[in-house]
Chains A and B, each alone.
Chain A
Amino acid sequence: SQQGEEDPQALSIQEGENATMNCSYKTSINNLQWYRQNSGRGLVHLILIRSNEREKHSGRLRVTLDTSKKSSSLLITASRAADTASYFCATTLIQGAQKLVFGQGTRLTINP
C-alpha cells in the first residue's frame, strides 16, 4: 500500500531557481525521509525528520513537517543541473517500524 503521495509528479525549473516538492501521508509516522534517485540508479538518502521536529536543514535542502496536516515539503534552493533526479518521500510508520513506505516520487528537471 502506498502511504505517501507526492505533488507535483513532475517539476521543471530553470537553474538557480528554488524547487519545492510536497508529500502527504495517511497514518501516524515515526519519521519521514527524503531520497533522491538518478535515472536508472538506486536511491540515496538525503535527510530525515522526526515526528517531533518541524523543520530541518542540510546544505541547500530544507525539509518541513506538519504532522497535523500529515504533510512534508522538500525545498532545494539555488538549483543546479546536477539536481535533476526523482525525489521520493518515505515514511516509517509507528506500527511496523521495520518498513519504509515510499511515495510515488517527483521528477525534477533543472534546465540550464
Chain B
Amino acid sequence: DGGITQSPKYLFRKEGQNVTLSCEQNLNHDAMYWYRQDPGQGLRLIYYSQIVNDFQKGDIAEGYSVSREKKESFPLTVTSAQKNPTAFYLCASRWGAASGANVLTFGAGSRLTVL
C-alpha cells in the first residue's frame, strides 16, 4: 500500500540531545513537508522540499534541520537549539509541480517529549 511512514511514533529526549524523526514515502511524490502541532493548535510549517537536494525554511525553522538526499525520504532533526521541542510532528507529501491543487497526504505523526 502506498503511503507515508513516520518513525518513531513516540520519542523521548533529554534536554541537550539532538533527535531525528524519519519520514519515508512510496507515493512517488515530489514535494515533502514537516509540520509541528501543539496541543489544541493548528499546524505550523517547519521545512519543505520540492525536489531532491533542495529545501526551504517554513515559518518556524529555528532549531530544526532537514535533508533531502532521496526522493522518498525527508528526515527532520530536532536540535538542542530548539527550546521547546515537545510537540506532535507531522510529515506530508504532495504530488506534482507547484501549480495546481496543493493536496497533502500525511503520515501518522511522531510525538516527541522532552524529559
Contacts and interface: CB of A to CB of B under 8 A. Distances in A.
Contacts of A43: 43, 90, 92, 104, 106
Contact of B31 (A33, A92, A98): A98
B59 A1 contact: yes
A2 to B, nearest CB: 6
B98 interface: yes
Interface residues of A, number: 27
A2 B90 contact: no
A31 to B, nearest CB: 7
B108 A100 contact: no
A40 B101 CA distance: 26
A2 B50 CA distance: 22
Nearest to A42: B106
Interface string B74-109: 000000000000001010100000110111111111
B2 interface: no
Summarize A's interface: helix, strand, loop or mixed. Answer: strand
Interface string A94-109: 0001111111110100
A42 B90 contact: yes
Contacts, number: 67
A90 B106 CA distance: 14
Most chain A C-beta atoms within 10 Å of own C-beta, residue among B56, B104, B108, B109: B104
Nearest to A105: B42
B48 interface: yes
Nearest to B109: A42
Interface of A: 1-2, 4, 30-31, 33, 35, 40-45, 48, 88, 90, 92, 97-105, 107
5 closest A-B pairs by beta carbon, nearest first, are A42-B106, A102-B43, A102-B42, A104-B42, A92-B102
Given A48-B103, A88-B43, 17 more contacts: A1-B59, A33-B103, A40-B88, A42-B4, A42-B90, A42-B106, A42-B109, A43-B92, A43-B104, A45-B103, A45-B104, A99-B45, A99-B58, A100-B102, A101-B45, A103-B42, A105-B41
